[in-house]
Amino acid sequence: MAKSKYEYVRNFESDDRLLPSAWLVVRIDGQGFTKFTERHGFAKPNDIRALHLMNRAAATVLGCMNEIVLAYGQSDEYSFVFPKNARSYDRRASKLTTLVASRFTSAYVYYWHEFFGTTPLQAPPAFDARVVVYPTDRIMRDYLCWRQVDCHINNMYNTCFWTLVTQGEMSPKDAEKRLCGTLSGDKNELLFSQFGINYNDVPEIFKKGSVLIRGTELVDVTDRHGVASKRPKGVVLTLHCDIIKEKFWTEHPEILSGTPVTAQRRQERQEQTQPERTDAHLQ
């Protein structure tokens, strides 16, 4: 930046670098999505097209921001987890929140037609963002537990509510009154006894949300001499699983250790410095 007599105005900028050696979670939420979903005719209680679009937008964010080790989404929200050793944008809160929100929103618009076909986008979607610092592994995991429990509670209620409205021919007001004070067991019984719906058969994406993690797959590559080989390629995996129990974290220990970030950086450096492979018989 060129120096001038006006440069002193930079002194008014605040230093919003976040606490080091702590987990960072950026959560985005849809703004005014009740009206947005009604305007675009989203299916109730869940529109699978909309959920897949959310996952596609979240995967785009992971593709742009290599230090994110996990993302969890449900309904119109997504949480992006940065590890303790993250260095992205000097851990500045304003940079992280604005970039995650803007990348997510632009991807949501860009990929809309892939999931909604000829249904036009009639209003610009908007997502707000906040970043929260979590000092320990346990607290960060409890945050994710909170979001997945919220997903389960909301989905069970919404499944009952909209079933009463669409199949039970109740008004929204009467359906709300019918569900007032009911527990999880009551809702299960209502769905099964009155409508023959076994809640266990509801798709996992609706009950558990979506978990995005990093993985690798072998892809076929051919060098300039026509020699074919396989090379590992980083990919984003979408899961619909329980992240509350220990099983998930045991199967993916690299998330808590932060190794996906380290491995990603190492792979990028190797790709930048590694000379192109040439077999001996071609020399």
Main-chain dihedrals φ then ψ at residue 271, nearest 5 degrees: -65, -30
Residue 232's alpha-carbon distances to 217, 218, 235, 237, in angstroms, are 5, 4, 9, 14
Mean pLDDT of the chain: 91
Q: Cα angle vertex 151, ends 146, 153, to 5°?
A: 95
- Separation CA 23–CA 188 (nearest Å): 37
Q: What is the pLDDT of residue 279?
A: 40
Q: Provide CB contacts within 8 A for 147, sequence distance 6+.
A: 72, 74, 77, 79, 209
- Separation CA 280–CA 283 (nearest Å): 5
Q: Which residues of the chain have pLDDT under 70?
A: 1-2, 260-283
Q: What is the pLDDT of residue 234?
A: 87
Q: What is the pLDDT of residue 269?
A: 52
Q: What is the pLDDT of residue 228?
A: 87
- Separation CA 36–CA 42 (nearest Å): 9
